[in-house]
Amino acid sequence: MPRLYPLEKTRNIGIIAHIDAGKTTTTERILYYTGISYKIGEVHEGTTVTDWMPQERERGITITSAAITCFWTPTYAKKPETKEERMSGEYKINIIDTPGHVDFTAEVERSLRVLDGAVVVFDGVQGVEAQSETVWYQADKYKVPRICFINKIDRMGADFEFCLKSIKDRLTKDAVLITLPIGQEENFSGVIDLIFMREVYFEKEKGEEVVFKEIDPSRKEEADYWRHVLVESLAERDEEFMEKYFSGEIKTEDLLKTIRKLTLNYKLVPVYVGSSLKNKGVQLLLDGIVDFLPSPLDLPSPKGIDPLTNQEIERKADDNESFSALIFKIAIDPYVGTLSYVRVYSGILQSGMTVLNTSTGETLRVGRIARMHANHREEVSELFAGDIGAIVGVKTLKTGDTLCDPKNPIVYEKIEFAEPVIWMKIEPKTKIDQEKMGMAIKSLADEDPTFRLMQNPETGDTLIGGMGELHLEIKVDRLKREFNVEVNVGRPQVAYLETVTKEATAEGKYIRQSGGRGQYGHVWLKVEPLERGQGFEFVNAIKGGIIPDNFIPSVEKGVKEALDKGVMAGYPIRDIRVILFNGSYHEVDSSDIAFKIAGSIALQEAVKQANPILLEPIMKLEVVIPAEFLGDVTGDLSSRRARIEETFDRGMSKVIRCKVPLAEMFGYVTVLRSLTQGRGTAVMEFSHYDPLPINLSQLIIQSKVNEK
Ligand code: GDP
């Protein structure tokens, strides 16, 4: 079947926000207005269509991304009368649902990777909040053009000017209003469209009917002012527009065209206002999505690596190119099993096709393909370039895998995920649970690469690891609900690391030459500190074949194994460069195993001499509390070794930003609740590793000794 929607009318977008800003409600309204969602469901009633999993409904937050396809004709376009007219005017929007909680930023990053544009939702009372900032900078990293939606204009305390200012101060000076609220708080009744210069009201019960009116004389001055700000912002940034501006002949098309061009070039961020809950302003936001966010054709061609030559290559977003795609999400559907969400970058993915998974080297046959709508799954026979859908029932795919035409391989840059900062012992409650637990954890880990499973080789305990306490709690919750596995978990343990603080060299010898064939491995290693977060680097500086090339990988292997178990308290050693610079070999007795052991011995010895220290994970924390609790909360934070970076006002609340060691933060949510009569909130995310103070290091080392 030929494609029904041209690529330039396709939008792959994400909706991102700080928790509670209204992402779910806004998504739900979008689905309602695009005609796919038949019934408006409120979040607190648990009927929203993007929230799939039971505990998401209970907690009222969206944890996993799903991709949903919907269709939109701009409100200013002529109302279609026939099916043909509708199809020719319509845009296809794929909404990639990004998770809203900071503990899941890996999922946000993964979604940002595959979407072309984003809508950032703000709370009209709060303005820019901690996660808005985090996500904003992630979107910068992936060069995602975006538009903003200041939501909750109907709420008491809402203030669009404050919000706009906080966006301009904290995120981007390029933010510019496209719509203006008519009234605020309980008087919020509609918006002024600054492009078409008219008032827009949302009538009928769910605001589904859009009514345009002339600007009321009482509001004309304010509208003119903001229109002027908009036009000036465009003239400052675009020469062609500036010329038109001076010759005084600006048309609506010029505005639309220039705003689009500047938004796609990251020079402008259009801002809309509204209230999703009160069904106001969302349709114009949808217009903004199709008018100003990119189609796959507007972005640079995606770049990957040719696995055969290791050269960088690119693929055009074109159906006629050879097929390539990226898996960005694995989800388990109770009815059809594994769904592997896929973004097709080039060519066409057809059911029945054989494709290469370049990330694993396996070829596989793609059976069924589906496109997900708000409340149903549509089986399709193909997905075209630039499109998003899901492969049904293939169990071997993982997040981040590249699929492509076996004759024309490409691998897209792997998404890099952080290592866990927290581990927890997990034990099945019964023998039946034991049988199911391994498989269940494995499928959760396939979905989420920051969630890990590990066996402690000494104790035999099974450990799960992740990016924070809540992250692991949610996984344990899912084990019970979705997989029927009951488990007991231990206290969370911090994932400390070890590192070196100066250079040192050491020798490693593994020589056994009594009787029969002997063993001979002999190396000299030098270790040096690397910058924080750099991990591990191995340098082969052997000259003149004093150790033959074929033994070098064995030395590296021995080094790597030794790095996994540090010399102070058995934590992994990181941020270290290891240089192999000397050694010797024996014609007959040298072997891979002897060099591996020699490498391990030398590494351990060198690290011991390089003033090793322990590192601990430090979290970025933002606490929002009513002002009267400021003293108590900062006092408590100081006792947790927090470094307070700033304290400021946001509306009626106080915001505290600090860096604090993860080890001090277990159960903090409960403490904060009792310190603030339940009114404080906190969000936390991993920041970096820092040296652990000496006295605490000694305690950790001692407790490790006692464990044994
Ligand atoms: P999310 O966490 O960003 O997905 O936010 P939700 O959509 O779940 O909304 C959080 C809370 O804010 C819910 O109780 C919503 O009913 C409420 N809410 C969402 N949008 C609006 C709005 O426009 N006005 C008001 N007053 N409340 C809203």
Question: What residue type is 491 in one-letter code?
Answer: R
Instruction: Identify the band that residue 395 occupies on the pLDDT scale cut at 50, 70 and 90.
Output: confident
Residue 253 dihedral angles phi and psi, to the nearest 5°: -60, -35
Q: Ligand 1 centre from 173 Cα, in Å?
A: 26
Task: Assess whether the C-beta atom of 275 lies below 6 angstroms from ligand 1.
Answer: yes
Q: Is any ligand 1 atom within 6 A of the Cβ of residue 151?
A: yes
Looking at per-residue confidence, does 156 or 88 come out higher?
Answer: 156
* pLDDT at position 36 over 80: no
- pLDDT(47) > 80: no
At residue 17, the pLDDT reads 84
Any ligand 1 atom below 6 A from CB of 19: yes
- Reported as a single tens digit per residue, the pLDDT across 451-502 is 888 887 677 888 999 988 888 988 998 899 888 999 999 988 899 999 999 9
Q: Are 120 and 701 in contact (CB under 8 A)?
A: no
Ligand 1 centroid–CA 428 distance in Å is 38
pLDDT of residue 525 exceeding 50, the answer is yes
Of 237, 215, 238, 218, nearest to 227 (Cα)? Answer: 215
In this model, does residue 48 exceed pLDDT 80? no
Q: Is the shortest distance between the CB of 18 and ligand 1 below 6 Å?
A: no
What are the residues facing 522 on neighbouring strands?
509, 584
Q: Is 61 in the pocket of ligand 1 (CB under 6 A)?
A: yes
Q: How many CB atoms lie within 10 A of CB 617?
A: 24
Q: Is the CB of 157 under 6 A from ligand 1?
A: no
Identify which has the larger pLDDT, 101 or 183: 183
Host H or E run for residue 24: helix 23-33
Band of pLDDT at residue 696, cut at 50, 70 and 90: very high
Which of these, 522, 648, 683, lies nearest to 102 by C-alpha position? 683
From the list 419, 437, 418, the residue with the least C-alpha distance to 427 is 437
As a residue count, the chain comes to 708
pLDDT tens digits, 540-574 = 999 988 999 999 999 999 999 999 999 999 999 99
- Best residue among 28, 29, 43, 184 to mutate for probing ligand 1's pocket (most ligand atoms within 8 Å of CB) is 43
**More confidently predicted of 676 and 705:** 676
Residue type, 511: I
Kindly report the protein residue whose alpha carbon is nearest to atom 24 of ligand 1.
152
Decide if 98 contacts 16 (C-beta within 8 A).
Answer: yes
pLDDT at 63: 33
Residue 52 pLDDT class (50, 70, 90 cuts): very low
Cβ–Cβ under 8 Å, residues 46 and 84: no
Average pLDDT value for residue range 435-457 = 83
Residues 6 or more apart whose Cβ sits within 8 Å of residue 300:
314
Q: Whose CA is nearest to atom 25 of ligand 1?
A: 152
The predicted model gives 219-247 an average pLDDT of 94
Backbone angles phi, psi at 686, to 5 degrees: -65, 135
Q: Which residues contact 63 (CB under 8 A, 6 or more apart)?
A: 53, 55, 56, 99, 101, 104, 107, 474
For range 242-256, the mean pLDDT: 90
401 or 505: which leads in pLDDT: 505
For residue 59, count other CB atoms closer than 10 A to its CB. Answer: 16
pLDDT higher than 70, residue 147: yes
Q: Report the distance separating Cα 688 and Cα 363, nearest Å.
A: 38
Supply the pLDDT for residue 374: 66
d(CA 599, CA 559): 5
pLDDT tens, residue by residue, 282-314:
999 999 999 999 999 998 888 888 888 888 899
The arithmetic mean of pLDDT across residues 41-52, rounded, is 41
CB 135 near ligand 1, within 6 Å:
no
- As a whole number of angstroms, the distance between CA 128 and CA 123 comes to 8
* Mean pLDDT over the full length of the chain: 87
